[in-house]
């Protein structure tokens, strides 16, 4: 994959504390077939923590080859020790059940729990929104067109309208993913889409970016976390069972969006908040599905200004980190967006 200039070594924010019990959730905690349990959206709902984890099943003789993917639910009283539901989540849609729905985020609006997900269908990836019914069933109310993933429903309305983040796949750019924003009156029909943040806006990305957890409302603006991916052909991981090389690194960043118009980016973190560095994030290629991956999906505000960051590591299991909200906000610096060309053609922009 062609990409921009190489990023080089990166360091994370020292104030972020990884949980000593990491990983806090893995395939060993799932009571049905599971090889990889990670990338879990987490929120608080009706007095307890709710987790929606991606559940992948691989071939017994080759964990690099997926034979199935989906979403499972788990629940916790303390946000650290989770118990999985007895069966995977079923995504009911127009009289059928959608298979292969994953990378689910959780959003609470007016005491209703919503699941934002990616449906990996035969005709590409489609973004969807569902209403939680119980631990094993949800009702899909919106399913978008391909090719999109990293769909995230925001918990706050803007001028009466719902808004969401999404990541379509462009076909005319060297990079392969930016964050877009769109709006809806009813959660079913979406439009007024605009580019929100692009790869060239993020100093520590050269391949793609994508939204992480639902934006969190603060006094300074909406706190939007995102994953950033850089590609470096000299940073190669070779897996023992497949003829494939992995040259990417996933890190965690954050941005601040205007409270009245979230399409306006106030600032971003000039360097990552977290980079893969622990053994459960960088690990052994014979064990990990993907090397050097921090994939944040959940952000929970606790008492006394504490934020809990839930993230997948190594595309293998689920981890937890913590930081004070004020400290994270201080790490966000004013920025001048580089992505000014959303409504121009490639010829108008130039090389």
User: Hey, is 305 helix, strand or coil?
Assistant: helix
The rounded percent of the chain whose pLDDT value lies above 70 is 92
Domains annotated for the chain, with CATH where assigned, are 21-337 (2.115.10.20)
Q: How far, in Å, CA of 305 to CA of 216, rounded?
A: 12
Which residues are registered as beta bridge partners of 195? Answer: 180
Give just the sign of the alpha carbon dihedral 149, 150, 152, 158. negative
Q: Do the bridges between strand 90-93 and strand 137-143 make them parallel or antiparallel, or are there none, so unpaired?
A: parallel
Q: Per-residue pLDDT for 289 more than 90?
A: no
Q: Six-digit token pair at 249? A: 């690194």
User: Hey, is 29 helix, strand or coil?
Assistant: helix
Global pTM value: 0.94
- 220-224, 226-230, 238-242, 308-312: least confidently modelled range: 238-242
227-262 per-position pLDDT tens digit: 999 999 888 888 776 667 889 999 999 999 999 999
1 pLDDT tier (thresholds 50, 70, 90): very low
Residue 233 C-alpha from the chain's centroid? 24
Asked if 311 and 278 count as a contact pair (C-beta separation under 8 A), the reply is: no
Q: How far, in Å, CA of 113 to CA of 40, rounded?
A: 15
| Section 199-224 average pLDDT | 96
Q: How far, in Å, CA of 223 to CA of 331, rounded?
A: 12
Asked if 272 and 228 count as a contact pair (C-beta separation under 8 A), the reply is: yes
172-181, 291-300, 332-341: which is most confident: 291-300
40-89 per-position pLDDT tens digit: 999 999 999 999 999 999 988 777 788 999 999 999 999 999 999 999 99
- For the chain, give the mean pLDDT: 92
């Amino acid at each position: 994959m062609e990409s921009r200039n190489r990023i080089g070594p990166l360091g994370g924010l020292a104030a972020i504390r990884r949980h000593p019990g990491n990983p806090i959730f893995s395939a060993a905690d799932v009571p049905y077939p599971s090889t990889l349990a990670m990338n879990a959206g987490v929120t608080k709902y009706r007095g307890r923590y709710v987790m929606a984890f991606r559940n992948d099943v691989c071939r017994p003789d080759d964990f690099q080859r997926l034979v199935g993917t989906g979403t499972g639910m788990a629940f916790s009283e303390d946000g650290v020790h989770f118990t999985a539901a007895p069966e995977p989540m079923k995504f009911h849609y127009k009289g059928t059940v959608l298979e292969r729905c994953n990378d689910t985020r959780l959003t609470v609006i007016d005491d209703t729990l919503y699941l934002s997900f990616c449906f990996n269908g035969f005709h590409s990836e489609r973004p969807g929104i569902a209403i939680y019914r119980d631990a094993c069933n949800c009702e899909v109310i919106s399913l978008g067109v391909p090719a999109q993933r990293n769909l995230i429903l925001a918990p706050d309305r803007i001028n009466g309208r719902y808004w969401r983040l999404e990541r379509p796949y462009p076909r005319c750019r060297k990079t392969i993913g930016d964050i877009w924003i769109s709006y809806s009156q009813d959660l079913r029909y979406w439009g007024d889409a605009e580019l929100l943040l692009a790869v060239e806006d993020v100093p520590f990305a050269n391949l793609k970016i994508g939204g992480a957890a639902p934006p969190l409302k603060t006094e300074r603006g909406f706190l939007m976390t995102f994953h950033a991916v850089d590609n470096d052909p000299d940073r190669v991981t070779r897996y023992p069972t497949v003829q494939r090389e992995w040259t990417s690194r996933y890190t965690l960043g954050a941005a601040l969006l205007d409270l009245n118009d979230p399409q306006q980016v106030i600032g971003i973190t000039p360097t990552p908040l977290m980079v893969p560095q622990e053994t459960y994030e960088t690990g052994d290629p014979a064990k990990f599905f993907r090397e050097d991956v921090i994939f944040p999906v959940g952000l929970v505000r606790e008492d006394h200004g504490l934020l809990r960051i839930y993230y997948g590591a190594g595309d293998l299991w689920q981890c937890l980190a913590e930081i004070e909200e004020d400290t994270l906000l201080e790490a966000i610096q004013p920025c001048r967006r580089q992505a000014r060309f959303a409504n121009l053609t490639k010829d108008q922009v130039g090389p």
